[in-house]
Amino acid sequence: MTWSQLDWNILDRLRAGFIGGTAAQGPYWQSEEDLAHYDLTYAERIGWKWDAVLREVRQRGWAPRGGLLMDWGCGSGVASRRVLKAFGAERFDSLVVWDHSALATDYVSQRAAKDWPALDCATATPGFLEAGSPIGLLVISHVLNELDEAGIAALRRLILRSESVLWVEPGTKDVGRGLQAVRDTLLPEFRTVAPCTHDKPCPLLAAGRENDWCHFFAAPPGEIFANSDWVKFGQRAGIDLRSLPYCFLLLERRPAAEGTGQAHDGTLSRVIGRPEFFKPYARLLNCDASGAAELTLQKRDDKALLKALEKAKGPLVYHWEREDNFIRTGQRFGEAPAEA
Ligand SMILES: C[S@@+](CC[C@H](N)C(=O)[O-])C[C@H]1O[C@@H](n2cnc3c(N)ncnc32)[C@H](O)[C@@H]1O
């Protein structure tokens, strides 16, 4: 599939289903061509979000422990492909794919057989879906708003069989808050490695925070803006390619002995969404173990930090020194302290 073969009837139909909600009414892939069209365009854009998430979790020193990799709601398989590329197919014993469309599972299995001939890849059988056998890493991508209660329950059963779960969704308010709620229901069994810097119930679900949601922005590869195919695609599809809002969860099963104890040291904060910059200060929504709060960083308190925050790319995770809701100074996680 190449850009010159694009059939806009297919892309328009798929997009109308995603936006209009009919995608939640049952399988919608009509042919292998649908999946190939999706894979070249919408799924590749989702892949850029996966790239951002995988960069972050690797920076944090996280890697899957191996075993069976499962891609649930696989579509054209972008999530498992990005994971296999990031960590190496040899890390996993096998790949199991599942989607309620057989066209999708066939598409992903065929691609996997070509891309990773040594990796054992299979479509989940009803027996596998009902069994209790362990799953090493479960990947889930852009599926939450297509699920009814039965779909969520089926997914939940698989999550509870998994050692780790990596789940990426669009950064819209409804989906973001939905993912926050799922996280909280799983807290007894799983610790949140990322994006949270704590293991407390999600502060953005607290009363009074109904208008906030956990989300971030990924940067697409710079070269797409000089690529006429992508530029035309963005215009024709009505998508701002610069803006890639996403939310995600990396969950790790708690060791049995750990109970619900803290996995984080509680000193780190994460900035939600984007900070807002005004001339003498920045304002941001902060999340940490003490809750969520709107914080202000004034230029007069730390000019260099304000400048660095404005330029910062990637996850905004910091050790702040605060007085009430004012940040006096701070240190970005993973960066060396600035020279005095
Ligand atoms: C928007 S696509 C995302 C595909 C892929 N995960 C990605 O990120 O590109 C949603 C996928 O979930 C599948 N799906 C929706 N509801 C499902 C369900 N209840 N069980 C299994 N798959 C489901 C759809 O068939 C579709 O392939």
Q: pLDDT tens digits for 96-126?
A: 999 999 999 999 999 999 999 999 999 999 9
Coil, strand or helix at 57: helix
The total of other beta-carbon atoms located within 10 Å of residue 267's CB is: 13
* Residue 60's pLDDT band (cuts 50, 70, 90): confident
Instruction: Sketch the domain layout of the chain as residue ranges.
Output: 3-258, 269-332
User: What are 77-87's pLDDT values in tens digits?
Assistant: 999 999 999 99
Ligand 1 centroid – CA 141 distance (Å): 8
**What is this structure's pTM?**
0.95
Q: How confident is the model at residue 27 (pLDDT cuts 50, 70, 90)?
A: confident
**In this structure, what token pair is assigned to residue 86?**
């990031």
User: Which DSSP string corresponds to 170-203?
Assistant: E--HHHHHHHHHHHHHHTTTEEEEES-SS-SSPG
Q: Is the pLDDT of residue 262 over 60?
A: no
- Closest of 66, 64, 84 to residue 74, by C-alpha: 84
**Which two three-digit tokens encode residue 142?**
């852009």
pLDDT above 70: percentage of residues in the chain: 97
Q: Average of pLDDT values for 308-316?
A: 94
C-alpha 157 – ligand 1 centre gap (Å): 17
Q: For position 18, what pLDDT does the model report? A: 86
Low-confidence winner among 23-27, 218-222, 316-320 (lowest mean pLDDT): 23-27
Q: Which atom of ligand 1 is nearest to the CA of 101?
A: 25
pLDDT tens track for 211-230: 999 999 999 999 999 999 99
**Superfamily name and number for 3-258:** Vaccinia Virus protein VP39 (3.40.50.150)
Q: Whose CA is nearest to atom 23 of ligand 1?
A: 73
The confidence score (pLDDT) of residue 257 equals 54
Q: Whose CA is nearest to atom 10 of ligand 1?
A: 143
CA of 307 from ligand 1 middle (Å) equals 41
Q: Is the dihedral of CA 55, 57, 62, 64 positive or negative?
A: negative
What is the Å distance from ligand 1's center to 26 Cα?
Answer: 10
pLDDT band, very low/low/confident/very high, at 287 (cuts 50, 70, 90): very high
Residues with CB under 6 A from ligand 1: 27, 43, 46, 73-76, 78-79, 99-101, 104, 141-143, 146-147, 151
Q: Please determine, for residue 250, whether its predicted confidence score (pLDDT) is greater than 70.
A: yes
Judge whether 44 and 76 are in contact, CB under 8 Å. Answer: no
**76 Cα: distance to centroid of ligand 1 (angstroms):** 9
Q: Is 296 exposed, middle or buried (0-12, 13-18, 19+ CB in 10 A)?
A: middle
Q: Is pLDDT above 90 for 32?
A: yes
